[in-house]
Amino acid sequence: VDSGLVDKLTIILDENMIMQGTSMTFLLKIKPNNLDGIAKQLYSSPFVANMTITSGHYNLIVVTHNMRDKDKIEFIKMSIIYPER
């Protein structure tokens, strides 16, 4: 458009193909002796799509399903009630 090659652009979106909400990715640093228990508790959440235990500074990566904002808040509240990480 800026180069003048394209005069006009129309975007047509199929609303049925657009998912509700967005997913989130959390990089967590958890004490090794708490890692297994916390990972199991978080994985039992219906919001969790994928979880990876890694080595390094952040040792747990959690990816959620697409969620609405109120579900994100609920997931975050649920995540912070676990024992000290």
pLDDT value, residue 1: 46
Q: Which two tokens stand for residue 15?
A: 């609303």
Beta bridge partner(s), residue 60: 28, 53
pLDDT value, residue 49: 94
pTM listed for this prediction: 0.66
Q: How far is 47 from 30, CA to CA, in rounded Å?
A: 20
Mean pLDDT of 50-73: 89
Q: Which residues contact 64 (CB under 8 A, 6 or more apart)?
A: 23, 24, 25, 26, 47, 48, 49, 72, 75
Cβ atoms < 10 Å from Cβ of 26: 16
Contact 28, 76 (CB under 8 A): no
pLDDT per position as a tens digit, 4-52: 666 776 767 666 656 677 888 999 888 889 889 989 988 988 899 999 9
